[in-house]
Amino acid sequence: MTRHTQDGDGAAVRPDSAPRKPAFAPTGGPDAAGPHPPPLSPEARALLAAEFRGVLDAGVHGLCFSPYLEGQAPGSQVSAAQIRARLEVIRPYTRWVRTFSCTDGHEQTPAIAHAMGIRTLVGAWLGTDAAINEREIEGVIAVARAGHADIVAVGNEVLLREDMGEDELIAQIERVKRALPGVPVGYVDAYYLFEKHPRVTAACDVVMTNCYPFWEGCPREQALAYMQTMVQRTRAAAPGKRVLISE
């Protein structure tokens, strides 16, 4: 999870509201277990890389997509040619892509992905700038009305960053839902925020949860089990709704 600023800089943060220790951490806190496990050996890294390559070659369900090249950042204009070239890199390995913005050229990504046979989770980036937010909302509606959004995400970690309040976020979600009947619409945030904001959860057709055991100090040996609890908690907070792991 990253706290973004308007100029595109980002700094990783561990949110104050996040759990203080992993669900599977030893009693007494993280120091009770003694020293941290040693780094992976070169042999272990090679085995992990080979396993990762095998999974990638077999194909994954979806990938978060950024077309940026070296020196670019949020706010940089991206061209259709650049987007197409970057999508070609991942095309053999994924069935879905998730995008984060519908401005600055990113609104071209869903149509290009669809032309390649890739399905799309299309995001509208919401922040503290009302004018940019309006462009994002208009952009995602236009993309979806053109038939290029299989799922729409209205905002990413807006509550985590405290960029807007719950009422304003719900109003944006409901606006997009009204504009796009028949298109699943939801919101992306850290798993525990769907527990803390049940009205936002209720407004979503699809709940998209970001799950990072690393940011909560979870040892790698327990990361999979801990991530499963994150997903279970999201599902418990959103009974009857479709839940996707967005990150």
pLDDT digits (tens, 9 = 90+) for 133-166: 999 999 999 999 999 999 999 999 999 999 999 9
Q: Which two tokens stand for residue 82?
A: 């650049």
**What pLDDT does 38 receive?**
79
pLDDT score for 31: 47
Buried b (16+ CB within 10 A) or exposed e, 181-214: eebbbbbbbbbbbbeebeebbebbbbbbbbbbbe
DSSP string of 209-246, one letter each residue: EE--GGGGT--GGGHHHHHHHHHHHHHHHSTTSEEEE-
Separation between Cα atoms, residue 104 and residue 124, nearest integer Å: 12
DSSP H or E run through 198: helix 198-203
Sign of the torsion formed by the C-alpha atoms of 95, 106, 157 and 4? positive
Structure-token match 């327990």, residue found? 222
- Crossing angle of helices 166-179/130-145, nearest 10°? 30
Distance CA 47, CA 55 (A): 12
Give the C-alpha separation, 234 to 81, whole Å: 38
Tokens of 96: 């879905």
Rounded Cα gap, residues 118 and 45, in angstroms: 31
In whole angstroms, what is the distance from residue 48 CA to residue 5 CA?
34
pLDDT attached to residue 184? 98
Distance CA 108, CA 149 (A): 11
> What's CA 159's distance to the chain center, in Å?
13
Return the pLDDT at 35: 55
Identify the segments of the chain with pLDDT beneath 50: 1-12, 14, 22-34
Phi, psi of 81 (to 5 degrees): -65, -40
What's the pLDDT tens digit per position in 6-21?
333 444 454 555 555 5
